[in-house]
């Protein structure tokens, strides 16, 4: 029998890789992990965590204004970008240390260098050759680069977390969740913010109502939204960066952030040496047990270009550890995964959008509430909230819940449990609300929206 140095070699210590390595080691496997940049990967260092800290930072401006309606008088608030970035860096360094400690405590051998496959069982890690019975590719993704003249003058999300100076005027290109979140961050911090998106509305895939509602709210807060447009070039100008838009207009900005998607991190990994198949976007192709076409090589997380979320990568890491070292083949259930966009206001969603539900089930009932939350009665803030339930008419099962408004992510996480459990509208109705909250609206909505099919037929 061939003996390998390790039972499992993980490439990439991000969300998925760390979880798979720790769990596999806890099941008794001999595990090593390679990380070339930062423990904790994208989420901890240049993703979810620093982004959310910046969202918190950016909300204070509005909170100070809201406080006046409640009787508070404050001096003129001032914001210091350098303090925020330094404090954020300190917190991220603390988290890096925790991730490294977790791996050490689990008995995982750590290589702080780049790894690449030499064949289906052999890895070159920082010039050393090691072998493993299984290799797990968990190398994540990276921001797609601009493909226009002047691309070298633009930023990607990785850069934004380390800017020396807050831009006074920023242009964000892209209508995915990262672009929308950074638009809220910079606008909240006082930068003049413009978001340009080539489609008619941002956040493709989310409920239409929610997309348009959020656009209106962001517009009210002062983000300049330009849909059905793109940019064609960026050049150094007299006053910052001169950007040319697809309609020929030119405008100056201090920074241009490109947020047009992410590509799987598979270049230079030596996957071709093992014969691992990639799809046309360069993502590793896997089956439901995260196996590639090569039996000893598996892949999880963003490098497989499926649902790019940390909790999904974590679940996949758990499943791999269980499949390989617990003799219990495990898959991940991708149904009803809740997600949020930490925009301002935030939006969150679980289950099917109205459009998807109508397509899949035909007859659905929609319950919808659009209102000014109590907090804003005295604050004078014009922000509204939208809450929506999508119900299958025959079975009464709640197929989707959507919300835009303060604490949307916190609220939808709880609603997601009910939806995952298959709750019907009756169960929502039988649940007593917590008063006074915004969340109680999810259990008090009784009025169905007029059925568009019926009103059209009546015309």
By the criterion CB under 6 A, which residues form the site for ligand FAD?
A: 11-17, 34-38, 41-43, 47-48, 51, 114-116, 138-140, 157, 178, 265, 269, 301-303, 308-311, 313
DSSP annotation of 441 reads: G
Cβ at position 291, least distance to ligand FAD in Å? 17
197 is catalytic: no
Which residues share a beta bridge with 124? 116, 129
Cβ at position 120, least distance to ligand FAD in Å? 16
Cβ at position 140, least distance to ligand FAD in Å? 2
- Comparing C-alpha atoms, which of 348, 409, 308, 337 is closest to residue 213? 348
What does the block give as tokens for 190?
């006082």
Cβ at position 331, least distance to ligand FAD in Å? 17
Which whole-number Å values give the CA distances from 267 to 142, 297, 419, in the listed order? 11, 16, 39
Q: Please give the Cα distance from 406 to 343 (Å, whole number).
A: 10
Q: What one-character-per-residue DSSP string does 264-320 give? A: ES-TTS-HHHHT--B-TTSPBP--TTSB-SSTTEEE-GGGG-S---HHHHHHHHHHH
Burial class (CB in 10 A: 0-12, 13-18, 19+), 48: middle
Answer whether 210's CB lies under 8 Å from 402's CB.
Answer: yes
Cβ at position 12, least distance to ligand FAD in Å? 3
- Kindly tell me which of 296 and 444 has the beta carbon lying closer to ligand FAD: 296
Q: Say whether 76 sits in a helix, a strand or coil.
A: coil
- Kindly tell me which of 156 and 390 has the beta carbon lying closer to ligand FAD: 156
How many CA atoms are closer than 13 Å to the CA of 125, on its beta-carbon side? Answer: 22
- Kindly tell me which of 308 and 344 has the beta carbon lying closer to ligand FAD: 308
Answer whether 428's CB lies under 8 Å from 442's CB.
Answer: yes
Cβ at position 341, least distance to ligand FAD in Å? 8
Cβ at position 178, least distance to ligand FAD in Å? 5
- Kindly tell me which of 284 and 418 has the beta carbon lying closer to ligand FAD: 284
- Kindly tell me which of 339 and 381 has the beta carbon lying closer to ligand FAD: 339
Cβ at position 322, least distance to ligand FAD in Å? 17
Answer whether 19's CB lies under 8 Å from 27's CB.
Answer: no
- Comparing C-alpha atoms, which of 186, 158, 190, 152 is closest to residue 171? 186
What is the distance of C-alpha 193 from the center of its chain? 21
What does the block give as tokens for 435?
């008063």
What does the block give as tokens for 441?
């609206």
Q: Which residue is nearest to ligand FAD (CB)?
A: 14
- Kindly tell me which of 114 and 397 has the beta carbon lying closer to ligand FAD: 114
- Kindly tell me which of 93 and 430 has the beta carbon lying closer to ligand FAD: 93
What does the block give as tokens for 237?
């100008």
Beta-carbon contacts of 335 under 8 Å, excluding residues fewer than 6 positions away, are 420
Q: Please give the Cα distance from 166 to 186 (Å, whole number).
A: 8
- Kindly tell me which of 332 and 366 has the beta carbon lying closer to ligand FAD: 332
Phi/psi at 175 (nearest 5 deg)?
-115, 25
Known catalytic residues?
A: 435
């Amino acid at each position: 029998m061939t003996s390998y140095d390790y039972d499992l070699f993980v490439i990439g210590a991000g969300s998925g890789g760390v979880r798979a390595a720790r769990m596999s080691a806890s099941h008794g496997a001999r595990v090593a992990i390679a990380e070339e940049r930062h423990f904790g990967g994208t989420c901890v260092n240049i993703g979810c965590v620093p982004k959310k800290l910046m969202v918190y930072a950016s909300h204070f401006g509005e909170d100070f204004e809201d406080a006046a309606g409640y009787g508070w008088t404050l001096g003129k608030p001032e914001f210091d970008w350098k303090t925020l970035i330094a404090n954020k860096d300190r917190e991220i360094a603390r988290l890096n240390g925790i991730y490294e400690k977790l791996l050490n405590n689990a008995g995982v051998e750590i290589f702080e260098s780049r790894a690449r496959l030499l064949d289906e069982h052999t890895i070159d890690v920082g010039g050393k050759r090691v072998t493993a019975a299984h290799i797990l590719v968990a190398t994540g993704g990276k921001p797609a680069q601009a493909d226009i003249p002047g691309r070298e003058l633009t930023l990607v999300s990785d850069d934004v977390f380390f800017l020396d100076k807050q831009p006074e005027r920023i242009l964000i290109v892209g209508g995915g969740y990262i672009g929308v979140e950074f638009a809220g961050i910079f606008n909240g911090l006082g930068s003049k913010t413009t978001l340009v998106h080539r489609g008619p509305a941002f956040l493709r895939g989310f409920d239409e109502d929610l997309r348009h509602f959020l656009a209106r709210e962001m517009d009210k807060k002062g983000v300049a939204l330009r849909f059905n447009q793109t940019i064609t070039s960026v050049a150094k100008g007299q006053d910052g960066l001169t950007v040319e838009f697809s309609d020929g207009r030119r405008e100056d900005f201090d920074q241009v952030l490109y947020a047009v998607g992410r590509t799987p991190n598979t270049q230079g990994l030596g996957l071709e040496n093992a014969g691992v198949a990639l799809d046309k976007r360069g993502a590793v192709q896997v089956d439901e047990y995260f196996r590639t076409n090569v039996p000893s090589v598996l892949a999880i997380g963003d490098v497989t270009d499926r649902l790019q979320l940390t909790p999904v990568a974590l679940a996949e890491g758990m499943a791999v550890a269980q499949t390989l070292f617990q003799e219990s083949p495990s898959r991940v259930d991708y149904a009803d995964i809740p997600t949020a966009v930490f925009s301002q206001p935030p939006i969150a969603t679980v289950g099917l959008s109205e459009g998807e539900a109508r397509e899949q089930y035909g007859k659905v009932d929609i319950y919808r509430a659009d209102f000014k939350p109590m907090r804003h009665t005295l604050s004078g803030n014009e922000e509204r909230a939208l809450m929506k339930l999508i119900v299958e008419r025959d079975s009464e099962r709640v197929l989707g819940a959507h919300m835009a408004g303060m604490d949307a992510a916190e609220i939808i996480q709880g609603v997601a449990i009910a939806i995952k459990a298959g709750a019907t509208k009756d169960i929502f109705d039988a649940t007593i609300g917590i008063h006074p909250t915004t969340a109680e609206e999810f259990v008090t909505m009784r009025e169905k929206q007029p059925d568009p099919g019926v009103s059209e037929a009546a015309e």
